[in-house]
Structure 1
Amino acid sequence: MQRLLFFIIIAGIFTSCRPTEFTPKPAGYFKIDTPAVHQYKEFMYPGYPYQFEYPIYSNVERDTVFIKDNPNNKYWLNINVPSLGAMINITYLTVPSKDGFIRMVNDAYGLSSFHEKKADYIREETYRNKYGVTGIIYTVGGNSASRFQFTATDSLHHFLRGALYFDVTPNADSLKPAADFLEQDVNHFLETIRFS
């Protein structure tokens, strides 16, 4: 009787310990909540050689990391959008000469082309705003570190370069809603940038 009971318990253990059939969940991403509307305020700080409008749901901070290395970088900024984990990095340089300007344009192109390794494509588009500022917008497709990069210049004295970054591993699909939303803010920045 004890043997029969022992075999029943052992048989029960083996039949009850069969692995259950696993059904994976379909792939998906977290929902990204973007602000309801695009609204802007003026960036016009005393002593800065440029002004622009930036989103009210962001904050502007000096890029203190590079100021320590080079005091000429004192006009470098970060426009942070904490709710989306995004940052628009702004670098500013004065144009020393015609050759210096050409070198700056080539450097900006090189920095944008650096993303070709991960990019599906890089689309270049020139623009000119109502203040006479011209430049190039680089739209980078695929899983690159930066979706938008741009330059803004008066071609004589001022040269500004910017790039949109997210504080996550690049994944074009999951970042698409946030990147699409911020594209309008980048374009608004370029429409309103002006030099003093």
Structure 2
Amino acid sequence: MRNSLLFGLVLIVLAVGCKENVLPKPKAMLRLEYPEGTYLQTNLDCPYTFDQNNLSQIKENNDCSLVLDYPQMKGSIFLTYKKVEGNLRELMIDAEKLTYEHVVKADQILPKEYSHPEAGVYGMFYEVSGNAASQSQFYVTDSINHFVTGSLYFYAKPNYDSILPAAKYLENDIRRIMESLRWNN
């Protein structure tokens, strides 16, 4: 009897112990890849031109302020044009103030100077990390006549981890805008 009890116990342990453990799937990040953009110079009736990504659609206002809409990424780059009329310092302070309003939600704001003396384009690029409303801000000017500010916004509540691939893609587009911007005289 003792042997049959021991044999039964061994069978139960083997039957229960040989089951495959069911584990939940580990959390994974979505792999978002966007096609390589092709760039064409804008042909607008404005005092400036720049290279536009073919994935974006321009919505133009009367005062040469633009919205570059990226429907695939659910984001937009807002460009605002101002004429410099002895108020360059105020325009620069306003642009910086707009950027640093995001400091409440941002983990970090990294300013980077931009200068292209041959084209007469000078400015600042701000990379904003964290759950801020805008992930990138910038301004460019010729210091005499023209001033353009830009900011990146998404159509959704900011969640830095989720929007990071799109934010990095559009950050590269912003850099391309800054590098290709030329003033029309």
User: So what's the TM-score if we normalise by structure 1?
Assistant: 0.77
Post-superposition offset of 1:62: 1.4
Query: In the alignment, which residue of structure 2 is the partner of 1:108?
Result: 95
Which of 132, 135, 151 aligns to 2:139? It is 151
Equivalent position amino acid for 1:81 in 2: Y
Query: In the alignment, which residue of structure 2 is the partner of 1:56?
Result: 54
* 4+ runs deviating over 3 angstroms: 23-33
- Render the CA deviation track for 1:137-189: whole Å, top value 9, x for unaligned: 01111000111100010000000000011111101100111111122111111
Post-superposition offset of 1:28: 5.1
- State the SS of the aligned residue for 1:83: coil
- Render the CA deviation track for 1:35-78: whole Å, top value 9, x for unaligned: 2x1310111223x1000001011111114xxxxxxxxx611100
Distance (Å, rounded) in 1 between the aligned partners of 2:144 and 2:24: 59
Which of 55, 59, 80 aligns to 1:91? It is 80
Contact 1:140/1:147 (<8 A) preserved: yes
Unaligned 5+ segments in structure 1 are: 1-22, 64-72
Distance (Å, rounded) in 2 between the aligned partners of 1:139 and 1:131: 23
Query: In the alignment, which residue of structure 2 is the partner of 1:167?
Result: 155
Indicate whether 1:80 and 2:79 are aligned.
no
Indicate whether 1:118 and 2:117 are aligned.
no
Query: In the alignment, which residue of structure 2 is the partner of 1:11?
Result: none
Query: In the alignment, which residue of structure 2 is the partner of 1:32?
Result: 32
- State the SS of the aligned residue for 2:50: strand
Specify which structure has the higher proportion of helix: 1
May I ask how many residue pairs the two structures share in their alignment? 161
Equivalent position amino acid for 1:34 in 2: Y
Distance (Å, rounded) in 2 between the aligned partners of 1:124 and 1:90: 18
Equivalent position amino acid for 1:146 in 2: S
- State the SS of the aligned residue for 1:176: helix
Equivalent position amino acid for 2:65 in 1: W
Equivalent position amino acid for 1:53 in 2: D
Equivalent position amino acid for 2:139 in 1: T
Distance (Å, rounded) in 2 between the aligned partners of 1:49 and 1:161: 14
Unaligned 5+ segments in structure 2 are: 1-22
- State the SS of the aligned residue for 1:84: coil
